[in-house]
Structure 1
């Protein structure tokens, strides 16, 4: 008899716990859109040269910031006419940013068709999150967002939905999604959402960091 009471008590606890968990999950699902398919992002800019020639000067290393109009480097270009002296051309920043990658080598030949560096404004980063097509109707511009960045698990960063994508990720793919075999399997599509960041909370955020977002409905 005593053993039966213990078993019934354990079952009751399990059922109550499961019910409470289910209630909590339903409440969260009804109030928020959650996804781990999110990353810190920024507007990357490729920095090229004004002409083909030799890179004789580069003034910024990776991690250095610059202002619009700053001289990033210098290229020595040689005109087609052999007797004409070489011309020095400045590589001028068209907007402020930070060098996040540098591929050039001093005194080697460069071309305006190839980027020698990549930059981004690290003060204007945002989050890109991919929501399922069944969730996008609940996402509205201006909705509050809680952002958790994997690199800083203890930090709670807030933001707002800034823009909803106008197409699914697959619609922008270079590969055709047409099916010539006649077989069809429906796949849930994902739509990109841009989320502004209210404050970095003193954390060093960089493009590409994984994040989890919770968007209020």
Structure 2
């Protein structure tokens, strides 16, 4: 009899716990939109020379920051005629940023428009989250967002929805998909949503980090 009472008690506790967990899950689902399909991003800018020639000087390595107008490198142009003296052209920073990738090697030959480095303004990072098309009606510009970044599991970031995409990810594909078999399977589309971070919580955030976001429904 005693064992039977203990068994019933355990069952009640399990059912009660399951009910509580179910209620919590439903409450969370009804108030928030959550996805792990999110990454930290920044506006990348390719840096190169406007003139062909030889890169005689490159002043910045990966991780170095610069201001708008700073001279990043110098190119010695190839004279069109043998009697014409060589001239130099400065490679200047179009905006403030940080070098996140550099392929520049001094004394290499460069072509106009070829990227010598990639930069990003690490103080202006944001998050791109891809939401299901069925969730978009519950998202609005200004909606509050809670963010977890995989690299900093014990830190909670906050932000807000800044922009909602005007097309699905598949609509931007360069190759349009076509159905040649006659069979059709509906696929849920994803819409990109841009999220602005309120602050970095003193963490070193960089483009490409995975994140999980939770958007408050309105």
Q: Shorter-chain TM-score: what band?
A: over 0.9
CA distance in 2, matches of 1:183, 1:129: 30
Counterparts of 2:209 and 2:175 in 1: how far apart (Å)?
Answer: 26
Residue by residue over 1:61-120, the C-alpha shift from the partner in whole angstroms, topping out at 9 and shown as x without a partner, is 111111111100000111222221111000011111110000111101011231010000
Structure 1 residue 125: Cα displacement: 0.4
> How far 1:2 moved relative to its partner?
3.2
TM-score (norm 2): 0.96
- Equivalent residue, structure 2, for 1:66: 66
Gaps of 5+ in 2: none
Give 1:178 shift: 1.6
RMSD after superposition: 1.0
Matched, 1:194 2:176: no
Q: Secondary structure at the match of 1:117?
A: strand
Q: How far apart, CA to CA, are the structure 1 residues paired with 2:15 and 2:186?
A: 36
| Aligned residue in 2 for 1:156 | 156
Counterpart CA distance in 2 for 1:173 and 1:122 is 28
Deviation of residue 7 (structure 1)?
Answer: 2.8
Deviations 1:3-30 (A, max 9, x none): 3333322222222111111100010011
Cα deviation, 1:33-68, whole Å, max 9, x if unaligned, reads: 111111110000000101111110011111111111
Counterpart-to-counterpart distance in 1, 2:208 and 2:117? 17
The alignment status of 1:110 with 2:110, answered yes or no, reads: yes
- 1:145-179 deviation digits (Å, cap 9, x = unpaired): 11111111111111110000011111111222221
Structure 1 unpaired stretches of 5+: none
Give the structure 1 partner of residue 46 of structure 2: 46
Distance in 1 separating the partners of 2:76 and 2:57: 9
Aligned pair count? 217
**8 Å Cα contact 2:50/2:113 also seen in 1:** no
